[in-house]
Amino acid sequence: MNNLNSLDRVYVAGHRGMVGSALMRKLGSLGFSNIITASHSELDLINQSAVENFFKTYKPDQVYIAAAKVGGILANNSYPADFIYQNLMIQSNIINSAFNNRVKKLIFLGSSCIYPKYANHPIVENELLSGKLEETNEPYAIAKIAGIKLCESYNRQYGSDLGIDYRCVMPTNLYGPGDNYHPQNSHVIPALIRRFHEAKINQHEFVDVWGSGKPRREFLHVDDLADACIRIMHLDKETFSGIVPQMNSHINVGTGEDITIQDLAKKIKKIIGFEGDIRFDNSKPDGTPKKLLNIDLIKSFDWSPKVDLEQGLISTYQDFLNN
């Protein structure tokens, strides 16, 4: 990788989450030893003065923003105020404190839910703000869009004079070790893993899956995302700005392949060894009918995903059993 300096002080915000812990593993494997972390009890990222003092004290050279309030359809629908407020505060406090303390290199992690509900597929980066968002996660999406525009605005205003270079990565649906398996507030893969596992243990006759099973989703293993983030962080500025525009400067990260929820459920059922039936609950919302990212931009930086979905699901189930 270009410009990789393993002596840099690297702050990973949200280091205990699924994405943050994947970044920690990858940074460690690359020889980074000066990694700065803080748990929620040590640093409340919603508290502006606490974040500012943290940056003044530790003076990182690089920042990865993997901290966020996240959840599935039910959580987004149930706590819209929490999702927009907490995410706006977390990212704004970190980005502004990074700027105030002369951090020039930063990665902001968003989500593919920033794109319109009926975007053209596969979704290219310039589909952003071209249409209405999906209703169930609009507050979260708006917060993430604000984070992109915050980074872009600092780059535009201070990039030339102060060397500010804040980059934004938009991953598709993530899964992998360290995921959240909460029965109500988890995303689709961990929710299905837990549901099928409990049905197997309790010898249930069937498992209920939300929605029709027809929506198509793309899934990226979190270790592939960590690899992409570190690659993007260390691309030299000339190479990066020669390909990525100043506006809509975020980069999609995915696999370029999708699968129906129905077929995903069948895969997970087989891996777990549940022998009952699957029932689709059409009274529950489907969310966006299709969400597949165009990944041509990141592929132009010589990156491609390495973890096959089947193998990724097997290792993720093993992580669930272990933890």
Task: Decide if 28 contacts 68 (C-beta within 8 A).
Answer: no
Q: Is 140 a catalytic residue?
A: yes
Q: What are phi and psi of 276, to 5 degrees?
A: -85, -165
Residue 186 burial class via C-beta count within 10 angstroms: exposed 0-12, middle 13-18, buried 19 and up: buried
CA 282 vs CA 46, 178, 210, 212: distances in Å: 38, 30, 7, 5
Rounded to whole angstroms, the Cα distance separating 272 from 117 reads: 32
CA 299 vs CA 3, 255, 259: distances in Å: 19, 10, 21
Rounded to whole angstroms, the Cα distance separating 148 from 110 reads: 8
Rounded to whole angstroms, the Cα distance separating 317 from 323 reads: 10
Instruction: Indicate which residue of 140, 154, 166, 317 is catalytic.
Output: 140
Enumerate the active-site residues. 140
